Structure 1
Amino acid sequence: MRNILLCAAAAASLAACNNGNSTGKGTGVDSAVNQAFAAYQQHFIDDLWKENPGWATSVGYHKYDSVLVVRNEAATQASLAFSARHLDSLKTFHLDQLTDANKIDYHLMEDYLNSNVWSIKELKSNEWDPSEFNISGGFATILNENYAPLESRLRSFYARLKNVPAYYEAAKAQVKDPVPELQQLAIAQNNGGASVFDKDFVDSLKSTNFSAEEKKAMTASAQAAAAAMRGYANWLSALKPAHPRSFRLGKDLYDQKFRYTVQSSYTAAQIYDSAIVRKKYVHGEMTRISRELWPKYFGNAPMPADSLELIGRMIDTLSVQHVKPAEFQSAIEKQIPELVKFIKEKDLLYLDPSKPLVVRKEPAYMAGVAGASISAPGPYDKGGNTYYNVGSLEGWSAVESESYLREYNHYIMQILDIHEAIPGHYTQLVYSNQSPSLIKSIMGNGAMIEGWAVYTEQMMLESGYGNNAPEMWLMWYKWNLRTVCNTILDYSVHVNNMSKEDALHLLTKEAFQQQAEAEGKWRRVTVSSVQLTFYFTGYKEIIDLREAYKKKMGNDYKLKTFNEKFLSYGSAPVMYIRQLMLQ
């Protein structure tokens, strides 16, 4: 669950860019139809932002910053009408007359609209997931991003505040029989996010030239918003549903959610089966490397006969190399320039030096889900910061901190930085901002995004990062096993009713994770579904595509060309990118 919102090129150039990205040469392609489709895409985007002003703000489109939609029955019906209207509009275009690039955009819009209808009519998560109601992220974006003068942003913030109390009253009217784990998450996040209003916003007012009366009115409104958030959290704390919903999604809903959100050529069950096969392969490689390393670290001591015990002993021995708790964030900051240097030396892909990456402590309103994440600016705010959010270890016991840092040891921390930052999420999102297709960016595919980050880990090691040290490869396989087991865990828990005991056994004994990490992953799987499969699914599809592309290009194959060409299509599903790269 990442705070990643996908971005795109300026809307004014949409039609020209789409035509430029069109590669279809079929006899049925009609230029007039494609021009009409480009014009429709612009209309769709305009309508999308009116319907989803919070989403617009998150991608850097600030026309509707002052608007907060109250998620009541009227808003639900408006959302259904939006989907119905645009599904009808899409039917006026014939796929065989569109270019390949526009066919992808057609499918992405169609999938989004159908997914929206399915979410409202069948998933109905607004009834059982109270954490969906949390307004602090959008407000924090307005407050923290320097896309406009501070006073202008504060006025938008202030105007947006008026609907906050009604927003949370609507939330209370919808939530019934909530999932207990999601109930607790909502309480923590809303209590944490309230400080955006009665602290951060109020502090920002001190730097303005607003009159005393204006500041007083703005402060009062912000305090009312904070009170509404805390009031919602208190209401949830007192809520004792007679029949709380299980966090397990169930096979039918899971299969449908996987189809809509992952957009893979595989089914959820097929990906699960592939993950089981991959786990066996990775265990074999880890056994081979552990046997190679054993004499170096254990001398003539007897080697365990059980392969999992052997691997575990080697990982435990290497994991003692880690930073101190207080140095976790600073160590990450120091690693970033080294990654940039390596990529330039190996000429793996172009890195834009004009796009800032800021390492920061994870904001309070994001707490409780993942220990590290990337928050990227939108296409309409290309100069904005990209944040590398790092979870804090403040308040952790010595035992908890040691367990966590053994998980994110000297080797794993480097892999984490590759995944989250360079050339992983941060780099992919920079390219996504430059994509010639607005639709491909805002309807971005999570499996492609996560898959790219996992792929880059392997790509960096294959290119010599870490000097081919067996220790680094062993730890990467451990990390890759985590990706594999994410899929196994998610499917097993939500479809096959895996118990917590069995889940922790999978993570600690078969994936060699520290207890604190495994407990955190269990919490994550109880407050999310399907997203944990993104990593392995996307990774598998990208590796398969690279091999097919390498075969196609023969002696002309270059890794840099593959990497940059793949990223040039924006955050589209890998199966669609594959069609374009191999045609």
Structure 2
Amino acid sequence: MRHAPLSLSLSLILATGLGLAGCQPATLPVADAPPGTEAGQGTVAARFDAVAESLLMRALERSPEWSIYSGRYDNAATLTIPDATRRADDLAFAKSALAELAAFDPQQLPAPQRIDHMLLVNRFESSIWYQQQFRDWAWDPSNYNVAGTVALLLNTPYADEDARLRTVMQRIERVPQYYAAAKANIAGPTAEHVDLAIVQSRGALSVFDDGLRGRIAASGLDAAEQALFNQRINAARAAIEGWVGWLEGEQQRLAASGDARSFRIGADLYEQKFAYDIQSHYSAAELYQRAVDEKNALHGRMDEITVQLWPKYLAGTAMPDDRLERIGMMIDHLSARHVERGEFVDEIKRQIPLLAGFVREHDLLDQDESRPLVVRETPEYMRGGGAGASVSAPGPFNPTANTYYNVSPLDAYTDEQAESFLREYNHWVLQVLNIHEGIPGHYTQLLHANKSPSLVKSLLGNGAMIEGWAVYAERMMLEQGYGNQEPEMWLMYGKWNLRVVTNAILDYAVHVQGMTEAQAMDLLRREAFQEETEAVNKWRRVRLSQVQLTSYFTGYAEIHDLREQRKAELGEAFDLKTFHNRFLSYGNAPVSAIAQLMRAEPMREQYPAQ
């Protein structure tokens, strides 16, 4: 359940998206007014807005990759080479940007700009930290893949076909230099990330296949252009194949030597990464403890439902004394109800409009009927990371482009693996998944985010808010009557919600406490009632990522707490739809920041008279 514009790692976005050296601060000819006055605050806010926009525009100009994922294509023909020179430039710009931001006292800024200031400072500080401390550019080869941006350019009709093909032709010219830099960067990689890079890089070849050559042949490009384009495709494929071959050599070397870097990042790096990536009022250790407490509470609620359902489904079977055993037996019985293997993608397509209708009928939040969600099979270059479903959304500069719901097909699974997968995504859980990924989860939230008046909040999205909203949406829909309050749906929701809770427990326990694979399997299979395929995929995922798995529970807990606090504060004035629309209107800001913004606004602006 990863949800960003395609699959670009955060550290690489930080490096290529926010690194700009040699750019001068913007000239800001705004007259000062006395500080502390309304006019003075407005002047400071205007000055800050100009600096913030300047920083973002310079970053986007230097980073074609970030621009493309944001829906801005004027520099898309240039491929960034991730070499040492580029890293030095990135570092210099991040430090320069922080100096520009330090000229403002956040307390003198209005609440919206104060949050933008916080987001920018966090992003530039984390950019430095990722490069100097975390250094995954040196040990994670899966950071390097040219396919995502090329595929996006080919599949997004932001210009006519010939113009886009010419952009891609220019962009791929330096693919050999790109992978040469990647090889030079990697030192002491983890075995797990080498394996992932091999899988995804092989998938990258599918972007440069006969389908692209066919489009070139059918295009308006002249014969010379077509010949040059095909030559560059040959060179790009050779560079990718050479990169895969080099990685396979690393794979063999690590297997023979046994000296691969551990995928566990340890307590110090984990706490720092959690602080930069999640931006929560929790520490990582505090969030872990809340997740443990929530796991125990969920077990209690699920047990009550199991005892209620036992006579209906398992009347002739003795009820075990152990609550986890009896919950597991009920879930196992109910999980047999699922779609057929060949109907999985079609069933998701069928459910999406039904969810939109429920939201509309119950007036839960605003939707955009002109922007349908496109369900598709996950592109090959995005597979292999352990997530079976994800959303690829357009950036704020191209908000009318398609939003894709990526669903990994079950083709590679054996019959046994497919059955395990389908039992995990059974009749009830599949509906919750579609709420999470689609409506009113990620798809709906990202549509609102692209309408945010703050470019900072739209571009510098907080993952915990994005993931947390999707998890919150699941519970909210059931609270509002989706699933007809069936105890079976609530039991399976509990099982699904345990994934969120155990994600947070698992991630911290593996990377900080040294949890073993056997312990992880016990947590996932026995305590979270996951099927073997799901548990195996999660164990793979936790070895390939850090902190991101905590974002679901952190954001969910903070959003739910905020809603309940607003209910208590506003009493009868509280309106759920208004709360949702208002919450989403702030873009992808951290939940703690949104809470500040909502409280800073007069109640009449949040809840106008009907």
Q: State whether structure 2 residue 485 is matched by structure 1 residue 468.
A: yes
Structure-1 separation of matches of 2:522 and 2:150: 41
SS at match of 1:552: helix
Equivalent in 417, 420, 433 of residue 403 of structure 1: 420
Aligned letter for 2:47?
A
Aligned to 1:502: 519
Structure-2 separation of matches of 1:237 and 1:417: 37
Structure-1 separation of matches of 2:52 and 2:556: 30
Structure-2 separation of matches of 1:285 and 1:3: 29
Q: CA deviation at 1:213?
A: 2.2
Q: Is the 8 A contact 1:198 1:223 kept in 2?
A: no
1:445-483 Cα shifts (integer Å, max 9, x gaps): 000000000000000000000000000000001000110
Q: Is the 8 A contact 2:65 2:149 kept in 1?
A: yes
Q: Is the 8 A contact 2:467 2:556 kept in 1?
A: yes
Aligned to 2:11: none
Aligned letter for 2:245?
N
Q: Is the 8 A contact 1:198 1:219 kept in 2?
A: no
CA RMSD of aligned residues (A): 1.3
Aligned letter for 1:237?
E
Aligned to 2:244: 233
SS at match of 1:359: strand
Q: Is the 8 A contact 2:396 2:458 kept in 1?
A: no
Q: Residues 42-57 of structure 1: matches in 2 within 5 Å?
A: 42-57=53-68
Instruction: Indicate the structure whose relative CO is greater, using CA pairs within 8 Å and at least 6 residues apart.
Output: 1
SS at match of 1:163: helix
Structure-2 separation of matches of 1:258 and 1:395: 34
SS at match of 2:281: coil
SS at match of 2:374: strand
Q: Is the 8 A contact 1:28 1:97 kept in 2?
A: no
Q: Is the 8 A contact 1:549 1:581 kept in 2?
A: no
Q: Is the 8 A contact 2:200 2:381 kept in 1?
A: yes
1:177-233 Cα shifts (integer Å, max 9, x gaps): 211111010001011111212334322213311122211110110121122112101
Q: State whether structure 2 residue 77 is matched by structure 1 residue 93.
A: no
Aligned to 1:148: 159
Structure-1 separation of matches of 2:153 and 2:37: 45
Equivalent in 530, 535, 550 of residue 513 of structure 1: 530
Deviating runs (4+, > 3 A) in structure 1?
25-29
Aligned to 1:10: none
1:336-386 Cα shifts (integer Å, max 9, x gaps): 111011111111111110112100000000001210000011222122100
Equivalent in 550, 559, 567 of residue 567 of structure 2: 550
1:292-349 Cα shifts (integer Å, max 9, x gaps): 0000001243211110010001000110001111111000000011101111111111
Q: Is the 8 A contact 2:68 2:76 kept in 1?
A: yes
Q: State whether structure 2 residue 544 is matched by structure 1 residue 527.
A: yes
Q: Residues 48-197 of structure 1: matches in 2 within 5 Å?
A: 48-197=59-208
Aligned letter for 1:466?
G
Aligned letter for 1:181?
E
Aligned to 1:20: none
Structure-1 separation of matches of 2:121 and 2:218: 46
SS at match of 2:397: helix
Aligned residues: 565
Aligned to 1:18: none
Q: Is the 8 A contact 2:396 2:459 kept in 1?
A: no
Structure-2 separation of matches of 1:50 and 1:382: 19
Structure-2 separation of matches of 1:381 and 1:542: 28
Structure-1 separation of matches of 2:285 and 2:218: 55
Aligned to 2:29: none
Q: Is the 8 A contact 2:71 2:395 kept in 1?
A: yes
Q: State whether structure 2 residue 354 is matched by structure 1 residue 338.
A: yes
Structure-1 separation of matches of 2:161 and 2:92: 36
Aligned to 2:221: 210
Aligned to 1:17: none
SS at match of 1:137: helix
Q: Is the 8 A contact 1:29 1:96 kept in 2?
A: no
Structure-2 separation of matches of 1:443 and 1:209: 38
Aligned to 1:351: 367
Aligned to 2:42: 31
Structure-2 separation of matches of 1:404 and 1:26: 61
Aligned letter for 1:153?
R
Structure-2 separation of matches of 1:198 and 1:466: 44
Aligned to 2:604: none
Q: Is the 8 A contact 1:70 1:166 kept in 2?
A: yes
Aligned to 2:431: 414
Q: 1:300–1:151: structure 2 CA closer, same or farther, 3 Å change rule?
A: same
Structure-2 separation of matches of 1:110 and 1:52: 19
Q: State whether structure 2 residue 593 is matched by structure 1 residue 582.
A: no
Q: 1:557–1:54: structure 2 CA closer, same or farther, 3 Å change rule?
A: same
Structure-1 separation of matches of 2:316 and 2:409: 41
Equivalent in 337, 354, 378 of residue 362 of structure 1: 378
Structure-1 separation of matches of 2:159 and 2:272: 41
Aligned to 1:4: 4
Q: State whether structure 2 residue 265 is matched by structure 1 residue 249.
A: yes
Aligned letter for 1:249?
I
Aligned to 1:9: none
Aligned to 1:199: 210
Q: State whether structure 2 residue 325 is matched by structure 1 residue 309.
A: yes
1:107-139 Cα shifts (integer Å, max 9, x gaps): 100000000000000001011100001111011
Structure-1 separation of matches of 2:435 and 2:218: 38
Q: Is the 8 A contact 1:403 1:515 kept in 2?
A: yes
SS at match of 1:162: helix
Q: CA deviation at 1:395?
A: 2.6
Aligned to 2:557: 540
Structure-2 separation of matches of 1:88 and 1:539: 34
Structure-2 separation of matches of 1:366 and 1:70: 21
Structure-2 separation of matches of 1:392 and 1:203: 25
SS at match of 1:93: coil
Listed as ranges, the gaps of 5+ residues in structure 2 are 7-35, 601-610
SS at match of 1:141: helix
Structure-2 separation of matches of 1:284 and 1:73: 54
Structure-1 separation of matches of 2:107 and 2:93: 25
Structure-2 separation of matches of 1:84 and 1:199: 45
Q: State whether structure 2 residue 572 is matched by structure 1 residue 572.
A: no
Aligned to 1:391: 408
Q: TM-score, normalised by structure 1?
A: 0.95
Q: CA deviation at 1:268?
A: 0.2
Percentage of identical aligned residues: 47
Structure-2 separation of matches of 1:352 and 1:45: 27
SS at match of 1:270: helix
